[in-house]
Amino acid sequence: MSMALAPRSRPLGIRLVQHLVKSRISYETYQASVLTLTFIAYSLYHLSRKPSSIVKNTLISLSREHPFIRRPNATHLSSLTGHPSYTTTRGLKGWAPFDGDSGATLMGEIDVAFLAVYAVGTFFAGHLGDRLCLRWILAVGMVGSGLFTCLFGFAYWWNVHLLAYFFIVQMLLGLFQATGWPSVVSVVANWFGKRKRGLIMGVWNAHTSFGNICGSLIASSLLEEGWGWAFVVPGMAVMAGGMLIFLFLVVDPSIVGFPSPHTHIMKRGESSHYNEVGEDEEAQKLHNEKRVLLPFVENPKMDAKWGSYEELPTNKDGFHEGSSLEGHLNEGEKGKLVENIESDVPLLVNYYGKVESSKNCEEVHPVGFLEALAIPGVVPFSLCLFFTKLVAYTFIYWLPFYISNTEIGGEYMSDEVAGNLSTLFDVGGVLGGAAAGHMSDRLNARATTAAFFTWGAIPAMAMYRAFGGGSMCINVGLLLLSGLFVNAPYSLITTAVSVDLGTHERVKGNARALATVAAIIDGTGSLGAALGPLFTGYISEAFGWNAVFVMLTISAFVSGALLFKQVSLELKARSSTQIAPPLQTKNTTKTNMRTHV
């Protein structure tokens, strides 16, 4: 058996819960647990990314006097479990090697080192995600992310001032962080069909902003204790989350005996043929009523081979007692079913509604990189996300620094206040993600929705730059507005759009394409995310912040323009569906009736 088809066993925590709970756990309960666990997981990923932007102002030498910096005494270092002595110095600025005139540039290069490795790693993570157990990938990725986040913070106690150390730690952190997105989006897509996908994933995608908010608040509150704590505490939290994922995350419905929402199930109709039943809720309802072919039958040999089965009593013919399945099959079909059951091979129903042996699954291989690129829409949405994430990540990495170095109501904010204030950008992002998801579901137009919010970000950012320093109230309002428009298309493309394209008919229902497609889209976007903070470091030092906002405006415009073809197709399709069909005459109706007799 190939690596892609390796048995996937139930997580240890789920086995314990199933043992303690005597009744059968419902599909909806598993869905809720998957949404909750993946939300926590990716929130923790972003929680561990945020400290670098909060600490940036402490590490960089500022032009204005920094009132207070707490640092460990270089002659008396101790471990985290001890009590390091401190020297308090007023007017002492920055942390070498970032305390020189090129401090902002060096921090920008550190950011791009992380994001560049993250972008490249995302492509490989998607490739692995279609071939290995997503639970293992997430668990290892989270533990590794937590470890290297802590190592960055340990530089505070170890009194490390070597630039290479920070580069290496951030690059390895980016490698482990890359495991997150392709994995969580694939897991959620495994449990939810297309119905209301935009709204569900739009709300679920609040994990990005939620993690950023928590990361900012935690890091800001710990600065006075020493900037190292701003990394160590989030790092420990991510490692704990990795253990939680390993113990409880069910990555696919088949592991606990449910059909996939992307599988079309056959139901006996009034005629002599089986009718297709749609995906998601209706399919699960039929499955719960035991009116469909069961994907797994009680069989110890099968459990040892496939890792899970549905523990239902069967009669002497191998059918579930009390179900209407037996009555739905003629003698030939019944004999074929019994033959397959006795051969220890579970029956599956494929994407096109045909009953087939799971032996055929060995013929389904993960799609290649070029095959995924050929899916219509992957390239333009990937390029769109490149510029969208360039804008979003510039705010994520530089907003606290920008706020603390910009007068608001005639005053400069402290590092802690600036970090807390920057969370409002992510609050707006939560609202924007939910709004974009709901709007795209109602209009059935992902590209149109993404373009609308992308271009809406242009005036929002311009107003924030021009009027954000007027007063605290104006700054808060414009931060919320900017976060809403900047993060909405980012949220929509990385969630609902990625899943739509990953389950496109072009790949013939092959669910193994999903992580690869998500990795291509998010990986391309992450390249833009790497360049945005890097350019910001250079441009802000050389030309000032007005030039930075010009760069962001141009990026937002190009991002929306790249979706022109997709928007045109959606508008054309929408206009054609709104044309009412011609009324039929009585003669036409009779003719049609005779045709169908």
The CATH number linked to 451 is 1.20.1250.20
Quote the CA–CA distance of 203 and 548 in Å, as a whole number. Answer: 30
Residue 2 lies in a domain: no
How many domains does one find in the chain? 2
Residues 343, 421 share a domain: no
Residues 526, 435 share a domain: yes
Residues 137, 33 share a domain: yes
CB 203 within 8 A of CB 38: no
- Of 152, 121, 128, the residue nearest 48 (C-alpha): 152
Residue 17 lies in a domain: no
Residue 328 lies in a domain: yes
**For the chain, how far is it from start to end, CA to CA, in angstroms?**
50
Residue 458 lies in a domain: yes
H or E segment at 428? helix 415-443
Residues 177, 102 share a domain: yes
Residue 166 lies in a domain: yes
Average pLDDT, the chain: 75
pLDDT in the model for residue 196: 64
Residue 586 lies in a domain: no
Residue with the larger pLDDT of the pair 504 and 74 = 504
Structural domain that includes position 322: 265-349
Give 333-369 pLDDT, tens digit per residue. 433 333 333 333 333 333 333 333 333 333 445 567 7
Q: How many residues does the chain have?
A: 597
Please give the average per-residue pLDDT across 368-378, as a whole number.
81
Quote the CA–CA distance of 168 and 386 in Å, as a whole number. Answer: 25
Going by C-beta distance under 8 Å and a sequence separation of 6 or more, which residues neighbour residue 438? 198, 199, 202
Res. 437 pLDDT band, cuts 50 70 90: confident
pLDDT in the model for residue 319: 37
> What one-character DSSP code corresponds to residue 316?
T
274-277 vs 265-268, strand pairing mode = antiparallel
Residues 344, 427 share a domain: no
Residue 358 lies in a domain: no
* Residues β-bridged to residue 347: 357
Q: Name the domain boundary from 302, 318, 349.
A: 349
Residues 188, 220 share a domain: yes
- For the chain, the maximum distance between any two Cα atoms, rounded to a whole number of angstroms, is 100
Residues 206, 249 share a domain: yes
Residues 140, 166 share a domain: yes
Residue with the larger pLDDT of the pair 503 and 559 = 559
pLDDT in the model for residue 335: 37
DSSP assignment of 234-261 equals HHHHHHHHHHHHHHH----GGGGT---T
Give 2-49 pLDDT, tens digit per residue. 333 334 578 999 999 988 987 888 889 999 999 999 999 999 999 999
Q: What are phi and psi of 91, to 5 degrees?
A: 85, -5
Q: Name the domain boundary from 349, 383, 401.
A: 349
Give 525-574 pLDDT, tens digit per residue. 988 988 998 899 889 888 999 999 999 999 999 999 999 999 998 888 87
Please give the average per-residue pLDDT across 373-395, as a whole number.
91
Put simply, whether the predicted model's pTM sits higher than 0.75 gets the answer no
Q: Name the domain boundary from 285, 318, 349.
A: 349
Residues 516, 418 share a domain: yes
Quickly tell me which residue has 């995906």 as its tokens: 279
Res. 61 pLDDT band, cuts 50 70 90: low
Residues 373, 279 share a domain: no
3-state SS assignment for residue 275 = strand
Residues 323, 249 share a domain: no
Residue with the larger pLDDT of the pair 256 and 425 = 425
Residue 87 lies in a domain: no
pLDDT in the model for residue 549: 96
Please give the average per-residue pLDDT across 373-383, as a whole number.
88
Residues 409, 372 share a domain: yes
